[in-house]
Structure 1
Amino acid sequence: MTSTSVDRTGKYELDTQANRVFMTTQASNLLNFGRGVANPWGGAGWLDDFGRLDPSEGVQTWISCRMAHVYSIGTLLGFPGSEKIVDTMVSGLRGMLHDKEHGGWYPSLTLRSDGSLDHGTEKLCYTHAFVMLAATSALLAGRPGAKRLLEDAIETYDRFFWDEDEGLAVDTWNTEMTELDGYRGVNANMHSTEAFLAIADVTGDESFRERAGRIVTHVVEWAKANNWRIPEHFDENWTPLLDYNADKKDDQFKPYGATPGHGIEWSRLITQWAISTYGWDAQHHRVSAKAQPYVDAAQHLFERAVRDAWQADGEPGLVYTTDWQGRPIVHDRMHWTVAEGINAAATLYQVTGRDFFRSWYATFVRYVDEHLADHVNGSWWHQLDEHNQVLRTVWPGKSDLYHAFQSTLIPFNDPALSITPAVARG
């Protein structure tokens, strides 16, 4: 780890007043930046560099979900205007983004040149996991329609995406929900885990925490067998496809190779699941015997990710992907990887007490301040090149707030709880 100057203010150090002020200011700036996210059709659009809607991107279901989640938390925090934004997102999710004929949710809606709407040709588990997350947060925030949205989302997910025999989620159906693609992915299962934990925390239905644990156990086994680099892509028999997208290495959602940012993100989710399931002693940084192997695995995942990805090419930042020997493939820096680094480092520090994680927290927060945060126009740059200059090839504009906003809150809340109920209780 390196830094360009000594932090004498404590601005980047966890558990200091200066860091609290910095992160709170970031949270407020992010919520202000996203005020214009509502699309005239309903749901959420894609935000550009200045927080305006990019009409070329249409209405995105996953952004609608993420913004419903973010502004549900904003509602709980008393941020002005949050309720209206959540209600617009929920209305879009219950309305035009929902396929009333075949069930489920379209991934997006874009306007064709002839005035008709293009809703794509697929129904994605990734999208449906975020619908469940959005609905749990909106429900906790007391927004109308949220309860019905959650019921519909769970029913659809259970019918089409959850494979009870495997204890994993399938990935992609056609629009009519009649043909299941043979691809299986870990990314959709990661966000399913996040949604399951939130459902359990909000509704008290512990069967969803048990489901999350089944996914977690698979991921830990795969990662351990692969030197703590998580295989991302699988065939229908759950055989790893380590060469998947070798000809499209920087794919927006399915890149080739290992994604260190996902290793980091999983390290927090695994820890959250383990301590929420088996318990921990927060005062003494001790976990139960049953939780310990999972917390150990989480630490291995985090350590492998930062060892492979941080300054892998000599410049600060986490490279996007590596090969299976840990060598960088796509050198771009994605903002979400550092946001998840902040979350995971803070969580693992709270749970283990290791200064190793406290130091990484400071490193990541400094990187946000020096490279990612747009101190002029707001929000965070979503993609930088290997020299930390703004890049727009994969993530043009500043599409949503989800990763960045959560990283301003998760470090200061109960790591055993999903963030919305943690904020509601705290």
Structure 2
Amino acid sequence: MGEIDDLLAFAAASRTPAGFGWLDAAGRLEADRPPALWITCRMTHVYAVAMRLDPQAPWGDLLDHGVTALLDGPLHDTEHGGWYAAVGEEAKEAYAHAFVVLAGASATTAGHPRGRELLAEAIAVLRDRFWDGAAGMCVDSWNRDFSVCDPYRGLNANMHAVEALLAAEDAGVEASWASSASLRIAARVADDLGPAHDWRLPEHFDEAWRPLPYFNRDHPADPFRPYGVTVGHLFEWARLLAHRDVASAEPRFAAASRALYDRARGSEGADGVPGFPYTTDFEGAPIVRERMHWVIAEAMAAATALGEDADRERFAAFAAAHHRDPIGGSWWHELDTDLRPGGVLWPGKPDVYHALQALWLPQLWPCASFAGVRRPRRS
């Protein structure tokens, strides 16, 4: 099998009755971690993409399991609507709901019989509960019955909303609204936040969308809300704005994509260690220096989207030399500053989504999304 099939096979062990769970470094389910919505959605998405690209691939049962779990399983709140962040939790998060939209879009374009049902419900929840039309952005989280909205606003959830809405647009479900919403979020990054902060994007905001530059300064290594600038997100935004440019051919998105890519690339080895630190401050000095697999994967994907072939080869060589685990399988999710496997922020190997997308994108580019049906696969 090739590396893509190896990753898909490794992730198959994450299947649980409620969805997909967290795998440890040996690829075993961690029983004390309840299935999380974002993992279940990401796995549903990757098996959908795998089936769309090769309808004869052996992953159809896992795609069906993911769609069924999202529609009929305990992650789905049939009383108040939406989905729980994890089994046993009651929070409703925009970040994870964006991934429900992504899973539904990819399942739809893969031809799953319930994909459109999942996508239609997911995009309705994102639109009706999380979308702030006045701000042109998504709020971050609610309590179970959507009666209390957290005042925190985050760019991470909105980044993944752009990804999901591009996929929904490709899938043809609420395409007009999806296009409009993703354009508004992308425009805030391209026209406002990027230029205003020299392309070192702030991640955290108050409810009026004022930046909170010192948020989590005392806990800088948070896996979802770290202090400072998240280097991997600069690459990810660069890729997503390139996708948005494919969808709408607006020069401002191509220019912003390039500016973000160049800013992120400039942090390579900034602390004297090969690869990219997890975070920097707003002057570019590294803060959290661990190397994350998803960061190098997004660097590979962004380099593909921007035609930086030499960069992609260098990033891929780093991933092959340091992140890929030829014995245990998948990629080491975290390396310490000596480039040895670590687990301070991300123990185990719960996620193949970033690595797979980095490996798939050269086959698909140019495309508006990984669910894309508007651009043919390259031979």
The normalised TM-score by structure 1 is 0.85
Q: Indicate the larger mover: 377-386 or 186-195.
A: 377-386
Residue 201 of structure 2 is aligned to residue 230 of structure 1? yes
Q: 2:289 aligns with which of 322, 327, 331?
A: 331
Residue 246 of structure 2 is aligned to residue 275 of structure 1? yes
Residue 20 of structure 2 is aligned to residue 51 of structure 1? no
Q: Indicate the larger mover: 42-51 or 263-272.
A: 42-51
Residue 117 of structure 2 is aligned to residue 144 of structure 1? no
Q: 1:401 aligns with which of 324, 335, 352?
A: 352
User: How far does the alpha carbon of each residue in 1:108-167 deviate from its partner, in whole angstroms, 9 at most, with x for none?
Assistant: 11xxxxxxxx22x42100010000000011111122322211111111111110111211
Whether the 8 Å contact between 2:166 and 2:244 is mirrored in structure 1 is yes
Determine the structure 2 residue equivalent to 1:91. Answer: 68
Q: 1:159 aligns with which of 93, 112, 128?
A: 128
Question: Partner letter of residue 98 of structure 1?
Answer: H
User: How far does the alpha carbon of each residue in 1:212-261 deviate from its partner, in whole angstroms, 9 at most, with x for none?
Assistant: 11101111211111111001000000000000000110001000000111
CA drift at 1:79: 5.9
Q: List alignment gaps of at least 5 residues for structure 2.
A: none
Distance 1:80 1:424 in 2: 21
Question: Partner letter of residue 36 of structure 2?
Answer: Q
Question: Partner letter of residue 101 of structure 1?
Answer: E
CA drift at 1:86: 1.1
CA drift at 1:45: 0.7
Determine the structure 1 residue equivalent to 2:325. Answer: 374
Distance 1:294 1:43 in 2: 36
Question: Partner letter of residue 197 of structure 1?
Answer: L
Determine the structure 2 residue equivalent to 1:300. Answer: 259
Determine the structure 2 residue equivalent to 1:112. Answer: none
CA drift at 1:422: 5.3
CA drift at 1:417: 2.3
User: How far does the alpha carbon of each residue in 1:333-363 deviate from its partner, in whole angstroms, 9 at most, with x for none?
Assistant: 11111111111101101xxxxxxx2221111
CA drift at 1:80: 3.9
Correspondences of 1:98-109 after superposition (within 5 Å): 98-109=76-87
Question: Partner letter of residue 110 of structure 2?
Answer: A
State, as a whole percentage, how many aligned pairs show the same letter.
40
Determine the structure 2 residue equivalent to 1:285. Answer: none
Distance 1:420 1:338 in 2: 22
Whether the 8 Å contact between 1:413 and 1:423 is mirrored in structure 2 is no
Whether the 8 Å contact between 2:170 and 2:371 is mirrored in structure 1 is no
Determine the structure 2 residue equivalent to 1:13. Answer: none
Q: 2:162 aligns with which of 180, 193, 196?
A: 193
Whether the 8 Å contact between 1:273 and 1:416 is mirrored in structure 2 is no
CA drift at 1:305: 1.0
Whether the 8 Å contact between 2:200 and 2:229 is mirrored in structure 1 is yes
Distance 2:263 2:374 in 1: 30
Determine the structure 1 residue equivalent to 2:227. Answer: 256
Question: Partner letter of residue 295 of structure 1?
Answer: A
Question: Partner letter of residue 162 of structure 1?
Answer: W
Question: Partner letter of residue 224 of structure 1?
Answer: P
Q: Name the SS of the counterpart of 1:409 in structure 2.
A: helix
Q: List alignment gaps of at least 5 residues for structure 1.
A: 1-23, 110-117, 279-290, 350-356
Distance 1:137 1:297 in 2: 27
Question: Partner letter of residue 341 of structure 2?
Answer: V
Q: Name the SS of the counterpart of 1:57 in structure 2.
A: coil
Q: Indicate the larger mover: 327-336 or 149-158.
A: 149-158
User: How far does the alpha carbon of each residue in 1:350-392 deviate from its partner, in whole angstroms, 9 at most, with x for none?
Assistant: xxxxxxx222111110011100110112111111111111111
Distance 2:143 2:330 in 1: 35
Determine the structure 2 residue equivalent to 1:36. Answer: 13
Correspondences of 1:105-184 after superposition (within 5 Å): 105-109=83-87, 118-119=88-89, 121-184=90-153
Residue 32 of structure 2 is aligned to residue 74 of structure 1? no
Larger radius of gyration between Structure 1 and Structure 2: 1
Q: 1:247 aligns with which of 202, 218, 226?
A: 218
Distance 2:241 2:211 in 1: 21
CA drift at 1:423: 9.8
Question: Partner letter of residue 301 of structure 2?
Answer: N
Q: 1:362 aligns with which of 303, 306, 313?
A: 313
The count of aligned residue pairs is 373
Q: Name the SS of the counterpart of 1:254 in structure 2.
A: coil
Distance 1:259 1:422 in 2: 31
Distance 2:240 2:366 in 1: 9
Q: Name the SS of the counterpart of 2:142 in structure 1.
A: strand
